[in-house]
Structure 1
Amino acid sequence: MFMAATDFCIRDYRTADADITLTIFQRAVREVASQNYTPAELEAWAGHIDRHVWANSLERQFTWVAMQESLPAGFASLTEGGHLDMLFVSPDHQRCGVASALLMTAEQAVRQRGMNRMTTEASLTALPFFEAQGFEIVKAQAIERRGQVLRNYRMEKALHEARDAR
Structure 2
Amino acid sequence: MLTVRPYVPADADLTIEIFLRAIREVASKDYNQAQIDAWAKVEDRDAWAKRRSSRPAWIVKYGDVSIGFADLVPDGLLDMMFVHPDYQGMGAASLLLTTVEAEARKQGLGRIFTEASLTARAFFERRGFRVLVSQIVEKRGQTLENFRMEKFL
Task: Say yes or no: TM over 0.5.
Answer: yes
Q: Is the 2:68–2:84 contact (alpha carbons within 8 Å) kept by the matching residues of 1?
A: yes
Give the share of equivalent positions with the same residue, in percent: 48
How many residues are aligned here?
A: 153
**How far did 1:49 drift?**
2.6
| Partner residue of 1:84 out of 75, 78, 82 | 78
Structure 2 alignment gaps of length 5 or more: none
Aligned to 1:93: 87
> Whole-Å Cα distance in 1 between the matches of residues 30 and 79 of structure 2?
20
Aligned to 1:158: 152
Aligned-CA RMSD value: 0.8
TM superposition score normalised by structure 2: 0.98
TM superposition score normalised by structure 1: 0.90
> Whole-Å Cα distance in 2 between the matches of residues 65 and 49 of structure 1?
22
> Whole-Å Cα distance in 2 between the matches of residues 143 and 31 of structure 1?
21
> Whole-Å Cα distance in 1 between the matches of residues 149 and 50 of structure 2?
25
| Partner residue of 1:126 out of 101, 105, 120 | 120
Q: Is the 2:15–2:68 contact (alpha carbons within 8 Å) kept by the matching residues of 1?
A: yes
Aligned to 1:113: 107
Instruction: Give the number of the structure with larger relative contact order, counting CA–CA contacts within 8 Å between residues 6 or more apart.
Output: 2
Whether 2:54 is the aligned partner of 1:70: answer: no
* Structure whose alpha-carbon radius of gyration is higher: 1
**How far did 1:40 drift?**
0.9
Aligned to 1:56: 50
1:80-138 CA deviation, whole Å, 9 max, x = no partner?
11110001000011000000000000000000011111100000000000000000000
> Whole-Å Cα distance in 1 between the matches of residues 130 and 122 of structure 2?
11
Aligned to 1:144: 138
> Whole-Å Cα distance in 2 between the matches of residues 51 and 40 of structure 1?
22
AA at the equivalent of 2:109 = M
**How far did 1:48 drift?**
4.4
Query: In structure 2, the residue corresponding to 1:137 is in which secondary structure?
Result: strand
> Whole-Å Cα distance in 1 between the matches of residues 21 and 126 of structure 2?
23
> Whole-Å Cα distance in 1 between the matches of residues 54 and 29 of structure 2?
31
> Whole-Å Cα distance in 2 between the matches of residues 43 and 53 of structure 1?
20
| Partner residue of 1:104 out of 89, 98, 103 | 98
Structure 1 alignment gaps of length 5 or more: 1-6, 160-166
